[in-house]
Amino acid sequence: MTPHIIEIGPWQLVMCLGFVLLAGATSVYHRLGLGRDLLVGTVRTFAQLFIMGYVLTFVFEVRTVWLVLLMFTCMVAAAIHIIRGRVKERGVPFLVPTFGSMLLSYALVSWLVTGVVVGARPWWTPQYFIPLAGMIVGNSMTAISLSLDRLFSDLRSRRAEVEMRLCLGADPAEASADIMRGAIRAAMTPSINSLMAVGLVSLPGMMTGQILSGTDPLIAIRYQIVVMLMLVASTALGAMLVTGLVRRRCFTKGHSLALRQPA
Measure CA 177 to chain center: 25
**Which lies closer to another protein via its Cβ, residue 67 or residue 257?**
257
Smallest distance from another protein to CB 244, Å = 17
* Helix ranges restricted to H, 158-216: 159-167, 172-175, 177-197, 205-212
Smallest distance from another protein to CB 155, Å = 14
- Using DSSP's 3-state secondary structure scheme, residue 61 falls into helix
- Measure the CA–CA gap between 225 and 195, rounded to whole angstroms: 9
Smallest distance from another protein to CB 122, Å = 46
- Using DSSP's 3-state secondary structure scheme, residue 250 falls into coil
Question: Measuring CA to CA, which residue among 135, 147, 210, 217 is closest to residue 184?
Answer: 147
**Which lies closer to another protein via its Cβ, residue 142 or residue 161?**
161
185 Cβ contact partners less than 8 Å away, ≥ 6 residues apart = none
**Which lies closer to another protein via its Cβ, residue 86 or residue 90?**
90
- Residues found near another protein in the complex (CB under 8 A): 160-161, 163-171, 174, 252, 254-257, 260, 263
**Which lies closer to another protein via its Cβ, residue 18 or residue 254?**
254
Smallest distance from another protein to CB 83, Å = 25
